[in-house]
Chains A and B, each alone.
Chain A
């Protein structure tokens, strides 16, 4: 029996109660509701990370129009498309330099790079280390699901040894990155790691990283059910969340060298690095002022602010 389009819509509407039509989720003003439901799988943790991010943004003391979100390519790269801020969905791996350009050209903006482990650390690795070295004042939120999810489950630089991926069908024999160690050794001033289960601590950490002057890096470990969990027979995202519950250890101030993750091993979470260091623009303005005196026209400072 053929059902025409109008009939289909009518039937769908009947299922949604009148009561539900009048409900508005508190995060809706921050989301591009015309694009919800999002594309992420059931039990994927990226939605949870986005919820924590928006909760953190609600609390920071920064005008909403000054917050920008830049994403790369991948499941996590789709984040920019769902948040109602000035958001940019850029090319694979180049979210960080794009964000650096955005921030340096208008220092009043607060730029957040919200992307995935493959995007930021593999193809974007070079940009991560240099932007951290320069201490450019952006916040990088790296969703780590240990795999390249969007393209079907390939190996990522964070995939733990012996885990299975489509390009490592017999198991991974490479050494993975220890992301907090990478960020800290390159000069990031704030390095933390949380899982999608630690919602409140993650929200607080995102807020701290955002307010921190300089390059802040927060690794968010999220369950990936369709690829990582399925290929490694770990159940669903809920089973991964239970694993995080039983195996994550809060270790604030731990040495980043000691927080690597092996396959289904203990996960140390917490705030590992929180230091002070002048950021790129501070260095630029102060050093050149010293060298050029009055001839120097500082960048990002209006004439009124200068005097």
Chain B
């Protein structure tokens, strides 16, 4: 994570990392998750699900910070995030 200055609590606060799971068949392609992911790692795929919608895909899973906004915004209960090991990265 790049900072313009190093935060004072950088050694105490760990940025979490999450893994996004998408239930493609439930998705109705609303685009809420894509629009509001703060790391911008979701985009609507060009594939179709059985209902004819374009479900999202994760473009860069490594950037997910487990904010769970996608999980909370989804009206279809079709996407959720699982907490992975917390990443300590304050040097790069």
Tell me, yes or no, whether A and B come into direct contact in the complex with CB atoms closer than 8 A. Answer: yes
* Chain A residues proximal to chain B, CB less than 8 Å: 12, 15-17, 20, 23, 25-28, 31, 36-38, 40-48, 50-52, 55, 196-197, 199-200, 203, 236-238, 241-242
Q: Does B15 sit at the interface, judged by CB under 8 A?
A: no
In the complex, besides A51-B72, A52-B72, A200-B72, 18 extra interface pairs with C-beta distance below 8 angstroms are A15-B50, A16-B24, A25-B77, A31-B77, A36-B77, A42-B53, A45-B75, A47-B74, A47-B75, A47-B76, A48-B75, A50-B75, A51-B71, A51-B73, A196-B73, A199-B69, A199-B72, A241-B36
Is B30 a contact partner of A238 (Cβ separation < 8 A)? yes
Interface residues of B in 13-52 (CB under 8 A from A): 21, 23-26, 28-32, 35-36, 49-50
Shortest C-beta distance, A54 to chain B (Å), equals 9
- Return the 9 tightest CB-CB contacts between A and B, nearest first: A47-B75, A42-B28, A199-B72, A43-B30, A238-B31, A48-B75, A25-B77, A15-B50, A42-B30
* Chain B residues proximal to chain A, CB less than 8 Å: 21, 23-26, 28-32, 35-36, 49-50, 53, 69, 71-78, 80
List the B side residues contacting A36 at CB < 8 Å.
26, 77
List the B side residues contacting A44 at CB < 8 Å.
75
Bound-state Cα–Cα, A43 to B23, Å? 16
List the B side residues contacting A26 at CB < 8 Å.
71, 80
B contacts with A: majority SS:
loop
Is B32 a contact partner of A46 (Cβ separation < 8 A)? no
Shortest C-beta distance, A41 to chain B (Å), equals 8
A-B contact pairs, 30 of them (CB 8 A): A12-B50, A16-B25, A17-B24, A25-B78, A25-B80, A26-B80, A27-B77, A31-B77, A37-B26, A37-B76, A38-B76, A40-B75, A42-B30, A43-B30, A43-B75, A45-B75, A46-B75, A47-B76, A47-B77, A48-B72, A48-B73, A50-B75, A51-B77, A52-B72, A197-B36, A197-B73, A200-B72, A236-B30, A238-B35, A241-B35
Bound-state Cα–Cα, A6 to B76, Å? 27
List the A side residues contacting B80 at CB < 8 Å.
25-27
Which residue from chain B places its CB closest to the CB of A47 in the assembled complex? B75
Which residue from chain A places its CB closest to the CB of B30 in the assembled complex? A43
Which residue from chain B places its CB closest to the CB of A241 in the assembled complex? B32
Bound-state Cα–Cα, A231 to B57, Å? 31
Is A20 a contact partner of B77 (Cβ separation < 8 A)? no
List the B side residues contacting A196 at CB < 8 Å.
73
List the B side residues contacting A236 at CB < 8 Å.
30-31
User: Given that A48-B73, A51-B72 are contacting pairs, would A242 and B35 also be in contact in the complex, using a CB cutoff of 8 Å?
Assistant: yes
Is A23 a contact partner of B74 (Cβ separation < 8 A)? no
Which residue from chain A places its CB closest to the CB of B78 in the assembled complex? A25
